[in-house]
A and B are shown apart, each in its own frame.
Chain A
């Protein structure tokens, strides 16, 4: 009936769905531990296991299916009230989820389920159920009792019906070889006959054996009916997985041979290794995109038309108007298209946040601390590629908060705080960026210790710490290799991390900030652009090249006159809002030459200065010309060229020219090394 059945093409959507369920399982299990009476949640967990079980079995992943099945049984026992939710149950279920995830993770690589030994999980899950002495499927028995009553009820009504010209037949039914749920199948046959007014007087084996599937593939029924034998056989054959029906009159010999049905060859699911990354996109967004593309197509034909008319007419002004019109329209449509595509790439932060409750739970359990973890604003959306970039920094910050931020229970009590530590992970949109906040009410960062440590490590010059503001001191924690923790624990505090947080966030044009009050807690803010791909940039000229400078790095643009400049420590500076701002020549900076103005260098009368601010340095970049502002799409330079200090990528301008995109943080790296 079908051509070769290939489960291959379903593997992508299968994995996506399994991932979704694993994630929600984790979240729901953690929540269930907090509120074991939440029956809605028990149902949701049950359904997740159930769906994974079914889908995995369809894909031929027996191990996944078995694990899901065993855990489904535990949840079923919870659902029926015969098993109570305990932390040890949540432990065993979470470990089961981990095992499923490990199996799942290798599927894209192997193209099959890995030969992972899951027997200890299977044993643990089975034992767990047996210990509690619950039957795995309590519903089954009660259900089948109902069935029995109902069947006999139906039998009585059929007896009460008309009984003219009724004859007795012996019906032999052969089920298909691989028929599953034989008992139900037999029930369906009997039920169907009864619906047709057929009286089923007895069965061999008896009904009770049919129900318990205590028979091979074949069973017989003695029936009484006014229907013609051919019709009777036909009715039964309309049920699936019936291989053969044999009807003989108990009065006269009469047999009917139904056609044989052949079964397709057994095929093992196999699939190739190429997995596509998929995103679920709202249908409305795709519709909007399609509409916009349609608009563009219309414009294209309008342009074609205008060009054609150009050859025929001399009426150039009207033609010009028409072209202008079309171009304006194309501009508008392209803008919208760009916005829509950008939106289609957006995913809610929940994608990343959802895994954290589990992580926090585990961390809290190992560290013996009680943590109240809250997530807010997980519906906030962010570009998909950004989502990937922020995962590690967030994991690090959360670990840090639990490991170092939150104190031991006793310590908290002594300090007059709630024994439970509070950690808040919150996301919100602010203008054109998304802010993610990781806040704890722990011990905070000790400023004095930070100051002395910074001095000790030579991160600041000896007389400086006193002069540095608290905020500036706080920034030191983002310095590579900096750590105030004398002890190294297994989760965090190896002195690496904070700088990586900062680096990752800055790489995606974001900012990492920290705020802390000793004894009260610490809050980290990660400010991220909504999208990576499209940024507003300032177009500038230095030497004869054009460069794009992301506007997020630009503080202000200043026209500095030569007479307003001063020499400070042999460096040309100007006073900018009360601060001394070093002036650096961009063209030299790009070519890694000495960019500071010196006495020897010729200083122009007017310096076109772009004030930029990285987390460590504020400086004025002097350029030859400021060309204006525009939206650019940043393209990677590719692995062939690789990372070049000072460059963030390239972009193609409207006229087809290529312009390099500057990366201020790495451009000024040399200056931040000496502390500004």
Chain B
């Protein structure tokens, strides 16, 4: 179902902000996860159409979670939310199958652009 989004970030602040941006723009945030392990569980359970994935998280980082989710569903659409200075990790994530990335701090428009583009493809 296009529109269903899973937000993965260990910072509640980020999750709230992303959720706000998404719901305001007609997306349905089906779940939030605070680490990679939760993300995999929720992905399997809810099959969201899109995942926004933080990189640095406890339990399991976003790169490994991306890899796992992509092995569950090679079509999974994942956008990385990276902090400045994580170039190498973003590259890892892209190799793991992430579709796109945004760099924090980002403007909501940038974030939405990335999402819309991924959904359009």
Which of B12, B14, B109, B114 is in CB contact (< 8 Å) with A2? B109
Whether a CB of chain B sits under 8 angstroms from the CB of A47 is: yes
Closest to A191 in B: B94
The reply to whether B118 and A184 contact each other, CB–CB distance below 8 Å, is no
* Contact across chains for B102 and A240 when beta carbons are under 8 A apart: yes
Once A17-B13, A143-B89, A240-B110 are accepted as A-B contacts, the answer to whether A50 and B105 lie under 8 Å apart by CB is: no
A241 touches B113 (CB 8 A): yes
> Does B95 lie within 8 Å of A181, measured CB to CB?
no
Contacts of A188 in B (CB 8 A): 94, 100-101
Q: Is the pair A50, B83 in contact by a Cβ cutoff of 8 Å? A: yes
**CB-based contact B21/A2 at 8 Å:** yes
The answer to whether A13 touches B12, judged by C-beta atoms less than 8 angstroms apart, is: yes
Chain A interface mostly helix, strand, loop or mixed?
helix
**Interface check A14, CB cutoff 8 A:** yes
Residues from 1 to 59 in A contacting B, C-beta threshold 8 Å: 1-3, 5, 7, 9-10, 13-14, 17, 43-44, 46-47, 50-51, 53-55, 57-59
| C-alpha spacing A84/B21, complex, angstroms | 42
Size bracket of the B interface: 35 or more
Question: Given that A53-B83, A239-B117 are contacting pairs, would A13 and B13 also be in contact in the complex, using a CB cutoff of 8 Å?
Answer: yes
Selected from A3, A58, A183, A263, the residue in CB contact (under 8 A) with B105 is A58
Task: Compute how far the CA of A442 lies from the CA of B83 in the bound complex, rounded to whole angstroms.
Answer: 49
Which residues of the other chain, A, contact B89 by a CB distance below 8 angstroms?
139, 143
Interface pair B121/A238, CB less than 8 Å apart: yes
Q: Contacts of B112 on A, CB cut-off 8 Å? A: 1-2
B88–A240 touching, CB < 8 Å? no
CB distance from B13 to the nearest CB of A (A): 5
Q: From DSSP, what is the main secondary structure of chain B's interface residues?
A: helix
Q: How many Å lie between the Cα of A238 and that of B99 in the bound state?
A: 10
Asked if B24 contacts A2 (CB within 8 A), the reply is yes
- Number of A interface residues at 8 Å Cβ cutoff, please give it: 50
Q: How far is the CA of A80 from the CA of B113 in the complex (A)?
A: 36
Contacts of A673 in B (CB 8 A): none
Q: Does B58 contact A (CB under 8 A)?
A: yes
> What are the residues of chain B within 8 A of A147 when measuring CB–CB?
88, 91, 95
Name the A residues within 8 Å of B16 (CB-CB): 10, 13
Chain B hits for A1, CB < 8 A: 25, 108-109, 112-113
Within 8 A of A (CB), among B13-71: 13-14, 16-17, 20-21, 24-25, 56-58
* Beta-carbon contact of A47 and B88 below 8 Å: no
Task: Determine if A57 and B108 form an interchain contact, defined as CB atoms under 8 angstroms apart.
Answer: no
* Apart from A53-B83, A58-B14, 19 more pairs, CB < 8 Å: A2-B24, A2-B109, A5-B108, A14-B13, A17-B11, A46-B56, A69-B85, A143-B88, A143-B91, A144-B87, A146-B91, A147-B88, A147-B91, A184-B90, A188-B100, A188-B101, A239-B100, A240-B101, A241-B114
26 pairs from A and B in contact (CB 8 Å cutoff): A47-B10, A47-B56, A54-B11, A58-B13, A58-B104, A60-B105, A69-B84, A137-B85, A139-B89, A140-B85, A142-B88, A143-B91, A180-B84, A181-B82, A181-B84, A184-B87, A184-B90, A188-B94, A191-B95, A235-B121, A240-B100, A240-B101, A240-B117, A241-B110, A241-B113, A261-B113
